[in-house]
């Protein structure tokens, strides 16, 4: 089983279970966005964590094994021309699907506006080296049927 196939089974099992991504993250004692991204195939999940998720969601052993595999992350060749731009592409490739899941879980069916939108860059001191803090602040736009 591939990580992509496992992710689809995780999505379906999460909905069947009635658990939120936040509840799963709490149960496995991991950060919310990391947990969501990992269960969607973007990180290898440690064995004990994969087993716990398997029990929580009623997943079979093939899914639990696939969660533990190292993902293949393919960079966008156009982004590779600049290291800073590449890191944004990499971050969104890894965390974009998780952020989408979390936005839909929190707000419902819709998108974050890039028109009614603010972005900010700040420096935060850290003993291990200063941190870059990028904030995207977009209005939620719900789909109206």
Return the active site residues.
Answer: 87, 90, 113
Yes or no: say if 67 and 4 are a contact pair by the CB < 8 Å rule: no
Phi-psi region of 4 (alpha: psi -120 to 50; beta: other; left: phi over 0): alpha
For residue 78, the SS3 value is: coil
- Cα–Cα–Cα angle for 24, 29, 32, rounded to 5 degrees: 55
């Amino acid at each position: 089983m591939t990580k992509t196939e496992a992710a689809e089974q995780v999505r379906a099992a999460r909905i069947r279970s009635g658990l939120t991504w936040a509840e799963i993250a709490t149960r496995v004692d991991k950060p919310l966005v990391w947990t969501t991204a990992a269960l969607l195939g973007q990180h290898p999940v440690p064995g004990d964590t994969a087993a716990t998720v398997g029990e929580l969601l009623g997943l079979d052993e093939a899914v639990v094994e696939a969660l533990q595999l190292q993902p293949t992350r393919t960079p966008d060749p156009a982004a590779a021309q600049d290291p800073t731009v590449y890191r944004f592409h990499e971050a969104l490739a890894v965390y974009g699907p998780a952020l989408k899941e979390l936005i839909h879980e929190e707000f419902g069916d819709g998108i974050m506006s890039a028109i009614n939108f603010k972005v900010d860059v700040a420096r935060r001191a850290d003993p291990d080296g200063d941190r870059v803090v990028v904030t995207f602040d977009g209005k939620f736009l719900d789909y109206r049927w």
